[in-house]
Amino acid sequence: MIEPIGVEQNSVVTSLGTMVYYTPKGELWQDNTKEKVSQLVFLHGFGGGSSAYEWSKVYPAFASDYEVLAPDLIGWGRSDHPERNYCPEDYINTISEFIEKTCSAPTPVVASSLTAALTIRAAIARPELFKCLILTTPAGLSDFGEDYTRSFFAQLVSTPVLDKLIYNLGVANESGIQNFLENRQFARPERIYPEIIQAYAKSAGQTNAEYAALSFVRGDLCFDLAKYITQLTIPTAIIWGQKSQFTGPDIGRRLASLNREAVIIFQEIADVGLTPQLELPGVTIGLIRAYLQKL
């Protein structure tokens, strides 16, 4: 909900509503002597207050070479927030629709966490849309038979009325967001600065923002990625934060080992949590740039 300098807001209509996306445009990024290689899409993960801001410290670095597109997924940020219980197919379909409507050729896609796992399924269903995948911590959160929906917190948030109370008190405010970032998302709390908290809070405070967030926390969007990753044919690189608390790098290595033909690169990053793109953006930029060339 806080965009870098020189970024324009656009939108496309999907089957679930209007999806807002951001792209570096205008005089700041203008270079008439250089032709763009292709489009490059950045997809944010899920969690209270998630939005395209998650990639905002990374995607401007690619604006001189690519036509960059960073959407707020349906139910998040400035995109439409339908009042519904979301399921994996909602995002598999709208991710594909977004790429189909905004990209003119098979496109490299960079995606994060559960969205990255859903992007794998989108690439399996519509391989003609994807050129390569660069994914940070792609996990279905119920991988290898684990059932996230049985966890105490998932059960708690499945209680009507209590679910929205928990969201309003624990998610849709700056103190709740700061607590989550410090204790769950980042490996080093000192890397969290006020703008990050403010951006998450603005997104979490949007009308009906609780519907997508609670679908995620209840586990409605979770699935076992191990059942699908063997079908992937798109060249893929995976980046995994060593201190990711939800799913550690051992899960990532197990998933990658199921399909070495497609998953060409698996890179673990020390001393980083779930979102290296926010915690160590410079390192993440360097890795993405290298992987775009290799893939």
Q: What is the pTM of this model?
A: 0.94
Distance CA 291, CA 295 (A): 6
Distance CA 4, CA 9 (A): 11
Distance CA 215, CA 114 (A): 12
| Residue 273 belongs to some domain of the structure | yes
| Owning domain of residue 117 | 7-294
| Residue 78 belongs to some domain of the structure | yes
| Residue 44 belongs to some domain of the structure | yes
Sign (positive/negative) of CA torsion 53, 59, 63, 69? negative
The length of the chain in residues reads 295
Find the CATH number of the domain harbouring 76.
3.40.50.1820
| Residue 153 belongs to some domain of the structure | yes
| Residue 182 belongs to some domain of the structure | yes
Render each residue's pLDDT in the chain as its tens digit; 295 residues: 788 888 999 999 999 999 999 999 877 877 655 666 789 999 999 988 999 999 999 999 999 899 999 999 999 999 999 999 999 999 999 999 999 999 999 999 999 999 999 999 999 999 999 999 999 999 999 999 887 666 655 665 666 656 676 777 677 788 889 988 998 899 999 999 999 999 999 999 999 999 999 899 888 999 999 999 999 999 999 999 999 987 999 999 999 999 999 999 999 999 999 999 999 999 999 999 999 999 9
| Residue 2 belongs to some domain of the structure | no
> Domains in the chain: how many in total?
1
Q: Are 273 and 187 in contact (CB under 8 A)?
A: yes
CA angle, 290 as apex, 289 and 291 as ends, to 5°? 95
| Residue 111 belongs to some domain of the structure | yes
| Residue 138 belongs to some domain of the structure | yes
Distance of CA 178 to the CA centre of its chain: 19
